[in-house]
Amino acid sequence: MNSVPASAAPRPENGGAEGGNIPRHVAIIMDGNGRWAKARGLPRVAGHKQGAEAARKVLRAAGTAGVECLTLYAFSSENWRRPQDEINDLMGLLSLYISRELDALHAEGVRIKIIGDHSAFKSDVARLIDKAVDKTASNQRMTLAVALNYGAQREIVHAVRSLARKVEAGQLSPDTIGEAEIEAELDTRDLPPLDLLIRTSGEHRLSNFLLWQSAYSELLFTDTLWPDFDGDAFRAALAAYGARERRFGGR
């Protein structure tokens, strides 16, 4: 859980993690858009725009490196507390990104998956998201999972409620409920186990993101603000991951 600059790890020649140890599933808490804009005397929306560009670069780097799934924390269930103008800007950028990138992502074999409840968004935005998910559903090269209106505690609550309903209906015995049964109820049930979780901007917390899934994932915190986190920074994070020894509590 050490904090390192994104550029601290050596960059491998093959563009992936050191020694070819590529994480199957990488998740990123994309933090620092507002601070990036403030430092430049720009409105927050400018930071979000640059953050969208960073997401595009990182997705490309992840695909080239052989990462199977990239999960991005785009809009948390707590983000509704932000000013309405900023929420509107975020929704507009999300719509623009999907409209601009969908055909290219589909052509590159990227499957788009949503975790969280995007039905809470405006109907036109929700429909656009559904279109992207449906269009790319059969793609197999890589998965881009986008967390929208997502909160890990709420995800776990929903999983517990679903299991409780099955018990109540006589479909499940409480004594048979284990980790696998809970995982089967999570939004990430069809994704690979989470190997690496990155947070940008110098903050050292998970902020209600993938709490169950990160139980044994490697955590990497970098001071780099998200708009400045590019392909090189992502490759450096993969190299840092590749240099670690994962023990899973065994020794």
Catalytic residues: 31, 79
190 is annotated as contributing to ligand binding: no
Question: For residue 234, how many other CB atoms are within 10 A of its CB?
Answer: 26
77 is annotated as contributing to ligand binding: yes
Chain centroid to Cα 28, Å, comes to 5
100 is annotated as contributing to ligand binding: no
48 is annotated as contributing to ligand binding: yes
Question: For residue 240, how many other CB atoms are within 10 A of its CB?
Answer: 23
170 is annotated as contributing to ligand binding: no
CA distances from 209 to 23, 25, 53, 73, 139 (A): 18, 14, 22, 8, 26
Helix (H) or strand (E) holding 73, with range, is strand 69-76
Give the strand pairing for 218-221 and 196-199. parallel
81 is annotated as contributing to ligand binding: no
- Asked if 195 contacts 25 with a C-beta cutoff of 8 angstroms, the reply is yes
95 is annotated as contributing to ligand binding: no
- Asked if 28 contacts 218 with a C-beta cutoff of 8 angstroms, the reply is no
226 is annotated as contributing to ligand binding: no
99 is annotated as contributing to ligand binding: no
Known binding positions: 31-36, 44, 48, 76-78, 80, 82, 199, 205-207, 218
Known binding positions for Mg(2+): 31, 218
Known binding positions for substrate: 32-36, 44, 48, 76-78, 80, 82, 199, 205-207
